[in-house]
Amino acid sequence: MANTDRAARREAAAAELRRAQVQQRRARLIWTGTVVAVVVVIFASVAIFGLNHNGGSGAKTTAADTKLLQTLSTIPATTYDAVGAGSSSNPPVTLAGSPPMTAGGKPRILYVGAEYCPYCAAERWAVVTALSRFGTFQNLGETTSSHIDAFPDTPTLSFHGASYTSKYLSFTGYETQSNQVSGNTYAPLDKLSTADGKLFDKYDFPPYFQSKGAIPFIDIGGTYASQGATYSPGLLEGLTHQEAADGIANADSPLSKAVLGSANTFTAAICRLTKNQPANVCTSSGVTAAAAALPK
């Protein structure tokens, strides 16, 4: 009988210890959750405070410098050829089953980005150099990416308010937001047309890409599309706009190998839509080498 009583008391004590341990674990979880919640609120408040006090704004957009544009639009063919495929990555993918995208009887290129975005900032250099081989830009802007995003203050151009003239292509460039803080976000800029909004929603999405709605997004004639940057914005760190253009024009620089390698790849995709026109561009050795990165 005594043994039975002792066993019962031990079991009761063990049960009480288990209840105490459960209560302690619950208390720790509640405390940890409270601390995490407070930390999240603090960080969110700091981020919002930074945006509200213009800590996230980049340089205000101005008209692109004439010398800068001349440097980019007069890069010799021999420089493109020396770079070839270069060091660029993330080539365009094929849009299976997509109808051709044209305007005025010409293949149309659609670009969707935002001025605050550092990856858009990097990619615009490649887009501008590639399209400058087929036509001429007017009213390009000059600006930087956000001050608080990854790769802050990346020097870049802007398509907001710009236009493009070419006998081979049509181009539409949207910058959906500026790099200037407005409230708790960045000020709105260009609104996609209904048709382009549908294209963006349909193709800037898995299975073509890993992320939904990511920028920059480039649709090349409804045949190819690209999402994200094709090289690291870090290559532009600390450079002025003119220094960036000069580096791009120098085939021996890492920046040139990235930007012009990407430009050659975009050019190769475009040439498949223009029936290899202009011939001197589309049959060049640099474009031919970069074409190997494209899906067949």
Q: What is the pLDDT of residue 205?
A: 85
Query: Token digits for 120?
Result: 């858009």
Q: In the chain, where are the structural domains located?
A: 1-53, 62-293
Sequential DSSP letters for 45-94: HHHHHHHHTTTT--PPPEEPPHHHHHHHHT--HHHHHHHTTTT--S--EE
- What pTM value is reported for the model? 0.82
**Cβ partners under 8 Å of residue 12, min gap 6:** none
Taking the CB of residue 177, how many other CB atoms lie within 10 A of it? 20
**pLDDT for the residue numbered 285:** 98
What distance separates the 2 farthest-apart alpha carbons in the chain? Answer: 105
pLDDT at 263: 98
Residues of the chain with pLDDT under 50: 1-50, 52-53
Q: What is the per-residue pLDDT across 237-251, written as a single tens digit (0 to 9) for each?
A: 999 999 999 999 999
The pLDDT, as a whole number, for residue 54 is: 54
Residue appearing with tokens 């660029």: 88
User: To the nearest whole number, what is the mean pLDDT of the chain?
Assistant: 86
Distance of alpha carbon 106 from the chain centroid: 26
Q: Which residues contact 286 (CB under 8 A, 6 or more apart)?
A: 77, 80, 81, 82, 83, 84, 260, 264
pLDDT attached to residue 25: 37
Q: What is the pLDDT at residue 276? A: 97
